[in-house]
Amino acid sequence: MSMRRFTLIVPIAFLSAVVSLAAQQRPDAAQIKQERDTAEKDAPQLAELLQIKPGMTIADIGAGGGAFTVVLGRLFSTGKVYATDIGERQVKTIRDYADREGLKNVTVIEGAPASTNLPAACCDAMFMRDVYHHITDVAAFDKSLFASLKPGGRIAILDFRPRPNSKLPDGVNPNRGGHGIAPSTIEEEMKAAGFTPVKTFESWPPGENKQALFLVLFTK
């Protein structure tokens, strides 16, 4: 093989790898639909539990692909929905999704490992779905949650229990016991930040047999 031919092949291989990686990171149509279907089924029950009413402000913390943000934005078009996540790419994904849906009541904010970066006392209700077990600076982050919620407001933490023999996410407290978190651990940490526990649902949504997620509800 000549040197000239080699120099042409390497960039092509490199570009192919970059394109492949980008495709893996970008949610496909099937994934977007699955997340949207889940949100459309679960969001009304979650909104009822959080006692959300028209005109209120909600925060979807760690919004991921933005499905719950978009569905709640439509359900409560007279209110305001904040969506937060970490990283410019993720924030852009959520913002673009809300823009495509024509939602003017959605505000997307880039969060941080130790803070929601939400304004103080901005929200009547907040929730975190499949996010809390990734938090590394728990005390600071929970303090930020408390500051962002209005007095009397509600916050729901949805997560899953530690999976046997699973790898602990980087930087999180070893007391998690693996990938996931116990409801009792969330309750203990949120109480330390000033929240009052209201109720724990062993599976969410209620009636789900697979028990993929639990929900712990708090108030301020």
Q: Domain containing 82 — which CATH number?
A: 3.40.50.150
* pLDDT given at position 28: 65
Q: How crowded is residue 52: how many other Cβ atoms within 10 Å of its Cβ?
A: 23
Is 11 within the bounds of a domain? no
* pLDDT given at position 197: 98
Is 92 within the bounds of a domain? yes
Q: In what helix (H) or strand (E) does residue 185 lie, and over which residues does it extend?
A: helix 183-192
Question: What averages of pLDDT result for each successive group of 10 residues across the chain (220 residues)?
Answer: 40 38 52 85 96 97 96 97 96 96 98 97 98 97 98 98 91 94 97 98 82 93
Is 163 within the bounds of a domain? yes
Instruction: Summarize pLDDT for 116-129 with one digit per residue, the tens.
Output: 999 999 999 999 99
The pair of three-digit structure tokens given for residue 80, joined into one six-digit string: 């305001």
* pLDDT given at position 34: 84
The pair of three-digit structure tokens given for residue 18, joined into one six-digit string: 């970059």
Is 98 within the bounds of a domain? yes
* pLDDT given at position 207: 76
CA 69 – CA 106 distance, rounded (Å): 8
pTM of the model: 0.85
CA 74 – CA 149 distance, rounded (Å): 22
> Which pairing describes strands 106-110 and 196-204: parallel, antiparallel, or unpaired?
unpaired
Question: In a 10 Å sphere around its CB, with 0-12 CB exposed, 13-18 middle and 19+ buried, how is residue 86 labelled?
Answer: middle
Is 129 within the bounds of a domain? yes
* pLDDT given at position 12: 41
* pLDDT given at position 93: 94
Is 19 within the bounds of a domain? no
Count of residues in the chain: 220
Return the residue matching tokens 């969001």.
Answer: 43
Is 43 within the bounds of a domain? yes
Instruction: Summarize pLDDT for 66-111 with one digit per residue, the tens.
Output: 999 999 999 999 999 999 999 999 999 999 999 999 999 999 999 9
Q: How crowded is residue 147: how many other Cβ atoms within 10 Å of its Cβ?
A: 17
Is 24 within the bounds of a domain? no
Phi/psi of residue 7, nearest 5 degrees: -70, -20
The number of domains in the chain is: 1
